């Protein structure tokens, strides 16, 4: 029951109609008996500043931030954690002591998802795509001491600009290539492929994936950030190759768990978040 004592959290984005986060967080609040409620707020680009001021005045405890606000939100934040500062994007806000604190839990969510299958340390990782999600994946895997990193992107210049940022921020060596035959070569001795392109996302579920089965080996872990559908065209290829497919839904769940802990200080179980998604996946 919502009372005068209930704490409010939520997500701001545009659109937010299809967000799965309210289902995950509210299921976990219920299971843990926490007096919190998670609400989706559709906030248009031009309303971001007033929305943040309003959220603070209304004493919200925290917010998730999604498309299109993840980068622009930074100018309204008082304190950024190291990761969101490096990545240049925020997906979680905490309102505390009159301050707005910003975090990025996407990278940690990805690592937790991958760690169910492998360690990151010393592994050769290939990231396809060079947008916001690729940035989080690249910084976080390098922080976890990946052995080597290759970024393969349709627009080479975008990959090069990410490479330059990484060299400046972390001093790490990163190779960049196009989405072409060089990618097939690099895959031969790769340990993990992380696809951050939206290829195969609903409704384009039959779109040709970045890599097909014949270019994969059976020890390869193939992670697709797209989680709708759960089994994307890329993950089907991984299955056909006898490789290990990992769905982006795991990252979604883990990044949510991290946000939940930032707000409440309590770490919910994976199961409690997964239970919230029953019936929609
Ligand atoms: N599972 C999760 O928890 C989670 C979290 C965050 C994001 N995601 C998903 O990750 C995906 C990427 O998000 P983002 O924020 O990084 O998006 P973004 O900033 O728009 O970047 C998209 C990247 O994909 C590339 N790309 C787009 N369409 C392509 C195509 N048809 N063929 C080849 N490359 C293409 C773009 O290449 P160019 O540089 O050439 O334009 C760009 O590098 C989305 O599907 C998002 O829903 C999932």
Note the pLDDT tens digit of each residue in 210-219. Answer: 999 999 999 9
Give me the pLDDT at residue 22, please. 98
Q: Does domain 7-105+251-276 have CATH number 3.40.50.10860?
A: yes
Q: What was the pLDDT predicted at 176?
A: 98
Nearest CA to ligand 1 atom 8: 225
pLDDT confidence tier of residue 196, bands split at 50, 70 and 90? very high
In order of 45, 56, 87, 259, 267, the CA distances from 76 in angstroms are 13, 11, 16, 19, 27
The pLDDT of 41-56, averaged and rounded, is 98
Pocket around ligand 1 at a 6 A CB cut-off: 106, 109, 129-134, 153-155, 158, 179, 196-199, 201, 225-227, 248, 251-252, 255
- Phi, psi for residue 102 in degrees, rounded to 5: -115, 140
For residue 280, name the pLDDT band (cuts at 50, 70, 90): confident
pLDDT of residue 61: 98
Looking at the chain, the domain(s) classified CATH 3.40.50.10860 span 7-105+251-276
Residue 260 pLDDT grade (very low, low, confident, very high; cuts 50, 70, 90): very high
Active site residue: 70, 94, 123, 244, which one?
70
In the chain, residues under CATH classification 3.40.50.720 are 107-247
Looking at the domain covering 107-247, what would its CATH class be? alpha beta
**Residues β-bridged to residue 42:** 13
pTM of the entire predicted model: 0.95
Count CB neighbours of 204 within 10 A.
Answer: 12
Beta-bridged to residue 176, according to DSSP, are 151
Map residue 101 onto helix, strand or coil: strand
CA distance 175 to 163: 8
Q: Quote the tokens at residue 147.
A: 């052995």
Q: What angle is formed at CA 260 by the lines to CA 259 and CA 264, rounded to 5 degrees?
A: 120
């Amino acid at each position: 029951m919502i009372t005068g004592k209930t704490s409010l959290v939520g997500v701001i984005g545009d659109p937010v109609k299809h967000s799965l986060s309210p289902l995950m967080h509210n299921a976990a609040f219920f299971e843990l008996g926490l007096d919190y409620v998670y609400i989706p707020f559709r906030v248009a680009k031009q309303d971001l500043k007033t929305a943040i001021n309003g959220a603070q005045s209304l004493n919200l405890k925290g917010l998730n931030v999604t498309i299109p606000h993840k980068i622009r939100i930074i100018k309204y934040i008082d304190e950024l954690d190291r990761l969101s500062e490096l990545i240049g994007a925020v997906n979680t806000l905490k309102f505390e002591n009159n301050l707005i604190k910003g975090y990025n839990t996407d990278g940690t969510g990805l690592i937790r998802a991958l760690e169910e299958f492998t360690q990151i340390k010393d592994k050769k990782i290939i990231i396809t795509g060079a947008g916001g999600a690729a940035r989080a994946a690249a910084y976080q895997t390098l922080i976890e001491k990946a052995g080597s990193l290759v970024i393969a992107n349709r627009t080479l210049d975008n990959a090069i600009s990410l490479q330059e940022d990484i060299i400046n921020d972390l001093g790490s060596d990163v190779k960049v290539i196009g989405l072409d035959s060089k990618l097939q070569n690099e895959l031969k001795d790769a340990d993990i492929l992380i696809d951050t392109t939206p290829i195969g996302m609903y409704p384009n579920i039959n779109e040709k994936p970045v890599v097909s089965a014949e270019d994969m080996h059976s020890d390869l872990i193939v992670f697709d950030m797209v989680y709708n559908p759960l089994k994307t065209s890329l993950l089907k290829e991984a299955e056909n190759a006898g490789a290990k497919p990992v769905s982006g839904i795991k990252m979604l769940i883990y990044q949510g768990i991290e946000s939940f802990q930032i707000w409440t200080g309590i770490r919910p179980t994976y199961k409690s978040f997964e239970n919230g998604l029953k019936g929609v996946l």
